[in-house]
Each structure stands twice: as C-alpha cells, then as structure tokens.
Amino acid sequence: MVNGDQNSTGPKKKAPAKRRKSASTPAADPDMVQLLTPEGRRVSHPDYDVSMTDDEYRALYRDMVIVRRLDTEGTALQRQGQLGIWASLQGQEAAQIGSGRALQQQDMVFPTYREHGVLWTKGIDPIMPFGLFRGVDLGGWDSRAFKFQMYTIVIGAQSLHATGYAMGITKDGKVGGDDGEAVIAYFGDGASSQGDVNESFVYASVYNAPVVFFCQNNQYAISEPVIRQARVPLFKRADGFGFPGVRVDGNDVLATYAVTKTAMDNARHGNGPSFIEAFTYRMGAHTTTDDPTRYRDSGEVEQWQAKDPIERMRTFLRDDEIADADWLESVDAEANDHALSLRERVISMPDPQPAAIFDNVYHEGSQLVDSERAEFSKYHASFEGSDHR
C-alpha cells in the first residue's frame, strides 16, 4: 500500500435495504454554514447544499480517517526521533478533506505546512512532505506537475504566489466555463494579520483573480488566540476588500465541501475571488515542539472534542445506514495499513549526499557554487581512509 488508491471509495458496502433519512432542519448559527451538526444530524442551509451518493459520503469519511491516522504517525515518528518536527492537522480533517475534494483536477493549491489532508485529496503520495520534516530535503517538488505548491513556512507568503498564479490564469484566458481553472490559497487565523495576506486580498480583488482564500481558523497561532489577530469575525474582513466572505463549520466535511465548491466554481467562471473562514480547532499542538497546556485549558479542548469532524460523520453514516460497523472497521484497518507503510518508508528515507548542498542553487549554474563544491569534495577527500565524514 503505497500511493495508489487515494481516490477510491475504499471497501465497498452493499446498499442497505432501507434507510432513515436525517431530518432537514435549518442549522443553529445563521452566520456559519453547517450541513452536519456535531451530533451527526444533517441540517439545511438556504445557500449551500450537497447531494452525494453513499459512495461519496463514505469516501469523505475514509479520507478523514486515513489522514488523521497518517498524521498520528507523523507525530509518533517525531517522538521517536525519526522526524525533526511535525505539524499536526488533527481536528482540521473536515476543513482539509472537504475543501480538497471540492477541487477539480485543473485547480492549483497553495498550502501552508499543515495541509497534509489537502495533499492527500490531490492524489499525492503522503510521504512527499516528510522529506521536509525529516530534514532530508527542503520539502521540494515540482508544484506544477502536482498542481500543489510546495509547503510554505513563512506565514502567509504563499497567498501572494497563489494570487499571482491566479492572475496568470486570467491572462491565459482560462476562466469562464466549467473547465476554467481556479486557485485555492490556504492559510490560518494568524496569517490573516500578515501584510502579504492582506496585499493578496487587494491584488486578487482589483484584478478579479480566480482565487479562493481558505482560512482555517483553528483558534490559535501557536499560543495566541484569534482575538489577538482580529476584533471582527475573520470572514467579515472580505467585505472591505470587495469580495464575498463566508464562515463555514470547519469540522463539517459536507459544509466545507459545499462552500468550497461554490467558491471555486465562482472563481473558475470568472466571478472573482472569495474568502472562506473554516471555523475549526487545532486539537493538537502547533507543532511537536509546542506545549498547548501552557495557554489553553482542557475544558476548551473537551468542548471541541465533542465537535470532532470524524465522529459526527461516523454517526451520520451509521444512523443513516450508509455504513455499517464492518465497513467502519475496515476503514480503520486500511488507515492502519497506510500508516505502517508510511512509517516504513519514512524510516528508510536515505540521508542526502553531502554534496547535495550545492545542487540547484541556480537554474543556470554558478561558478562560485561550483568552486565551493569542488573545494568541499577536495577537503572531504583529504580524509580518505579515515573515519571522518
């Protein structure tokens, strides 16, 4: 199990003979799009809806279970010294899977360093970002080939790249139609304060660029609560920049899917940018170097635990008889297999050759770098026969 089947719907389940359909009542908070309550009940929204087959519902659940399991493995690998650091997505699975699955093949993603779930939905081998966290490379890949830009560490810097890329789509005449292209830029509540993010709003707005700003408001920028970033709900900021903003329950995979799909389709049809605030919670630490008990209390974490994105989907699948216990178990088993495979492959990632330091500094090469590479080799060769490395 390496990298084949992210797009499958997983183990097939026989269609149930009869089904109890969830009642379709309006959601509680009119300011937040929700289609699936924390209790696993389907609710309706006047502007957004999804109509999915059972296979599709199950696929979303399966995605979330697998990316959570892979993420747990990331944390474990760090604890065991196999990674230098890991940035956990736990709690944000619905925001990432819902938005990621709403993208079309031709859409381009500009992630932060936490979008392991979105990466999974693009059909990319989940091991790809592990080079960065293990320190064997700088997280590099051909972003154009994968339609998924490299992880960006400087907070919010990628929002401008996303906007520029989207401006290029317009210049290429690739907007306006179902096959139009669109871009999604991910960032967090902390990044919403960055100049680059605000500049990207300005650029996207004045050039009507086909870009969707997807902000996962996970409530914390390391230790700083979101009140340290904004005194208004983040989605309301979009108003001032001249494009629509919407808040969605970020722990509701159906709602994030619906909202993202609408926004991306608007962009690809030439209707310009929009802003999505996915209201969610970072269940784990900022990264493995962080200790969240220093700045938030367990009561808060428990409250959010009750809104868990996977639990509510599981309840929905079970109550609506879309999946039975056997199927749910088989997904857990499958996720475990993915995690084990990932673990083995991460542990066996080779260290790069030391001279790789000098590779790819310039596309057209550099005499300076070449001469330093030669000196480096000569220096190391002078130890030949000794155990100096």
Partner 1 sequence: MSQTLRIGGAIGAGLRKALEDDPKVLLMGEDVGKLGGVFRVTDGLQKDFGEDRIFDTPLAESGIVGTAIGLAIRGYRPVCEIQFNGFVYPAFDQIVSQLAKMHYRSQGTVPLPVVVRIPCGGGIGAVEHHSESPEAYFAHTPGLKVVSVSNSQDAYWMIQQAIASDDPVIFFEPLRRYQEKGEVDVSMADAPPLHSARVERPGDDVTVVAWGSMMKVAHDSATAAAEDGRSLEVINLRTLSPLDMAPVFASVRRTGRLVVVHEAPSHVGIAAEISARVTQECFYSLESPVLRVTGYDTPYPAARLEEDYLPDLDRVLDAVDRTFTY
User: Which residues are designated catalytic?
Assistant: 282, 286, 295
Please, which residue, 83 or 166, has the CB nearer to partner 1? 166
Euclidean distance between the first and the last CA atom of the chain, given in angstroms as a whole number: 36
Amino acid at 371: S
* CA–CA gap between residue 99 and residue 90 (Å, rounded): 16
Output the smallest distance, CB 52 to partner 1, in A: 32
| Contact stretch for partner 1 (CB under 8 A) within 295-303, 305-313, 333-341, 357-365 | 357-365
- According to CB under 8 A, which residues from 158 to 197 bind partner 1? 159-169, 171-172, 195-196
Write out the E strands in the chain: 25-26, 43-44, 108-110, 183-188, 211-217, 220-221, 224-225, 245-249, 274-279
Which of these, 280, 335, 292, 313, lies nearest to 92 by C-alpha position?
280
Of positions 359, 375, 379, 380, contacts partner 1 by CB under 8 A: 359
Please, which residue, 149 or 218, has the CB nearer to partner 1? 149
Output the smallest distance, CB 132 to partner 1, in A: 9
Which of these, 185, 148, 178, lies nearest to 266 by C-alpha position?
178
Number of Cβ within 10 Å of residue 375's Cβ equals 10
Please, which residue, 197 or 323, has the CB nearer to partner 1? 197
C-alpha dihedral, 282 to 283 to 289 to 293, nearest 10°: 110
Please, which residue, 140 or 240, has the CB nearer to partner 1? 140
- According to CB under 8 A, which residues from 129 to 158 bind partner 1? 137-145, 149-150, 152, 154, 157
Residues with Cβ < 8 Å from 302, sequence gap 6 or more? none
Please, which residue, 306 or 357, has the CB nearer to partner 1? 357
Please, which residue, 8 or 366, has the CB nearer to partner 1? 366
Output the smallest distance, CB 16 to partner 1, in A: 47
Of positions 72, 369, 373, 376, contacts partner 1 by CB under 8 A: 369
* C-alpha dist (Å) from residue 349 to 2, 9, 71, 342: 14, 29, 18, 11
| Contact stretch for partner 1 (CB under 8 A) within 16-24, 200-208, 277-285, 337-345 | 200-208
Output the smallest distance, CB 198 to partner 1, in A: 9
Output the smallest distance, CB 262 to partner 1, in A: 23
Q: Is the dihedral of CA 312, 309, 72, 259 positive or negative?
A: positive
Q: Is the dihedral of CA 58, 63, 64, 69 positive or negative?
A: positive
Place of tokens 């659940």: 61
- According to CB under 8 A, which residues from 238 to 277 bind partner 1? none
| Contact stretch for partner 1 (CB under 8 A) within 218-226, 228-236, 326-334, 359-367 | 359-367
* Residue 351 binding partner 1, by CB under 8 A: no
Output the smallest distance, CB 307 to partner 1, in A: 35
Confirm if 110 and 186 have CB atoms less than 8 A apart. yes
Structure token digits, residue 208: 């009507």
Amino acid at 122: K
- Give the number of residues in contact with partner 1, rule: CB under 8 A: 44
Q: Which residues of this protein are in contact with partner 1, per CB under 8 A? A: 137-145, 149-150, 152, 154, 157, 159-169, 171-172, 195-196, 199-200, 202-203, 206, 359-364, 366-369
